[in-house]
Amino acid sequence: MSPTPQWVKDLKPSPPQGTDLVQTEREKSKVSVDKLSNFLFTKEVLERQERILNILEAEKVFDKSQNYFDGRVDRFKTALARAKRLRQLQVKHNWNRDEYMVANELISEPGPYGLHASMYLTTLRDQGTPEQHKLFLEPAESYKAIGCYAQTELGHGSNVRGLETTATWNPEDKTFILHSPHLTASKWWIGSLGRTANHAVVMAQLIIGGKPYGPHPFVCQIRDMKTHEPLDGVHVGDIGPKFGYNTMDNGFLLLNKLKIPHINMLARFSGVDPESNKYIKPSSPSLIYGTLTWVRSAIVLQSGGVLARGVTIATRYAAIRRQFQDRDAPSDANGENQVLNYTMVQYRLLPLLAATFALHFTGKAMMGLYQENQKRMNSNAGKGSDSNRGAGPEETHSGNDMVADLHATSCGLKALGSTTAAEGLEVCRRACGGHGYSSFSGIGTWYADYLPTTTWEGDNYMLTQQVARYLLKSARAVLKGTAPNNDTTRIFTTFLQKQDMGAAHDVLGSDADLVAAFAWRTSFLTFEALKHRDIEKNSWNSLLVDFWRLSTAHSQYLVVKNFYEALQSESLRYELDPVTIDVMHKLFRLYALDTLQKEASEFYSSAAVTVRQIQLARTKTVMKLLEDIRPHALKLVDAWSFPDWQLDSSLGRKDGKVYEDMFYRASELNPLNGLTIDPYPENATLIKKDDTANFKSKL
């Protein structure tokens, strides 16, 4: 392809220009972007992001201009080079864990060190003893050993108890023998395992004297530390191309009677006494799955930001893209209408915009709950099961009750948060029209990379059973008068006390009543499910759909409750101006009422609201909220503070130069345009001239 002629370079989009449109949009709103950004993230976090962004942009290896063009092998090589440089920068600038994660988020692609820096280090840190920290964690933190977390198998994913890999205790030489007895025992989908890791935390069924004790974590070296070749008895490799996530080397692992020392079983909570050969039982079986709980909590925390990227791109493009004239405009009106002015587009995008804030505040609350639980576990570590008792200022349930609450909450919110984000990204992509299908939109690749989140760390449908089990157990305890004092049991108690009187929630006039209506629906569905299970004796399998609905309802209640509580905080009134606070309250009501009207049958059948309230919410209130929020849409997405470099999107450019950027990428950066082909079928020649290297040399 010949160089782009000057007359092409001189062309501009037809007016009005995107830069003018976004400027006009922002002038419509008095929302304070800076104040809202600081409220969401803090000024310190935003300054840290800016500082790290400047460092990354100066590094050639992080140039993103070929991201959408390279094939898988080249993308993996680039990702590996970036991962190595990122670690070098971490050492050079003495970045802490949070700063390193900020850099990862800005780069915005799964890297070969991803599972090492997250699940491997977290598992060693949270489940290892001080001796094991010295032996395994310290070299891992200095990247002298690179690890991963090997749980999922070819034949088992969500059913952790069904894992086939075994770890058999050998009392003769005080070792564990790790073995893959079947093909389906192969570890599969393990991030960083395919080509990168030389160690793995392997989740395997502990067997002592022929008796199984369930899955436990074992540290296992899998590759030679110098040659990086697999050790004897280890068969390991990459599982191949995927729907997305192709910069990560997800791997398989088979072990053939591989011996590891006694010290390699992570033993903070459970272990094997090498002298008596007896199993040391954990105070709570759930403690074994601490890493999964952390990951699920992190997924909840990230879900709002994940969705916000798609909403930011789609909203900015909808403010620039113009299609058709308003049918009710004066006959002499000129110009096409901004797509964001159409209520059908608002109805698709603005509730998702509200959801980004709802998930953000819920994620912060979820991570706070996890950290509180970690503090309790740390203070009680090594004291035995009876000492894991204690209550905070408001909660009078035991430490084990808190673990159960955290586990159920993380399962439910992980399922709801990641489903909302994944499905919302596709809505955003489609809201961009035909250009949403282009990689340059920045949504498709992001969606494909995020999509497995709905499956890994527990399939979202499967996880809802964990939530239902917890809610049914809590309901039974309330009925018996033996329930711990926590939010779940309190809303159940309130429901039982008031069910004969009716709910009488003023959901259209009171934010607090809106939250109470969600709590009422959860309580109703819980006691209905309990009746089906305990009184009618229905099988567990026959109730799975009911349990999914129950988990969804409970998780939606938690999201609405956390959003509401965030808006009641002292910091909100201190940090935000009245206009921005008013808009935030409207976003809360939009999220809650939009969810209510979409789940209308359950709210009505539970008597949480009336038919009239549902009708008004659907036809009046939600539509009025869309109209009120519409002028602020651009500033609200701006408050998420995504740099253009991070979004890597033509359609989501902050300056509005959408069409210029899209044409530039297609014309100037696309290596395929460097091929001159022979188009005739009778000729054996395929390529007449190959100038693809010239496109990459422009970098």
Catalytic residues: 457
Q: Which long-range contacts (CB under 8 A, 24 or more apart) does 383-391 make?
A: 384/283, 385/283, 385/284, 388/283, 388/284
- Please name the residue that has the structure tokens 């110098």: 226
**What residues are designated binding site for FAD?**
152, 191
Planar angle of CA 298, 40, 562, nearest 5 degrees: 65
333 exposure class (CB count in 10 Å sphere: 0-12, 13-18, 19+): exposed
Distance CA 156, CA 183 (A): 11
Distance CA 553, CA 525 (A): 8
- Please name the residue that has the structure tokens 């709002």: 304
3-state helix, strand, coil in the chain (%, to 5): 60, 10, 30
Give which of 296, 255, 263 is closest to 166, Cα–Cα.
255
Two tokens, residue 245:
């996530």
CA distances from residue 517 to 35, 113, 508, 626, 685 in whole angstroms, order as listed:
31, 45, 11, 22, 70
Q: What does R_g of the chain's alpha carbons equal in angstroms?
A: 27
Residues in the chain: 699
CB of 680 within 8 A of CB of 5?
A: no
The helix (H) or strand (E) run that includes residue 280 is: strand 279-280
Contacts of 486 (CB under 8 A, 6+ apart): 395, 397, 401, 405
**What residues are designated binding site?**
152, 191
Contacts of 409 (CB under 8 A, 6+ apart): 366, 369, 558
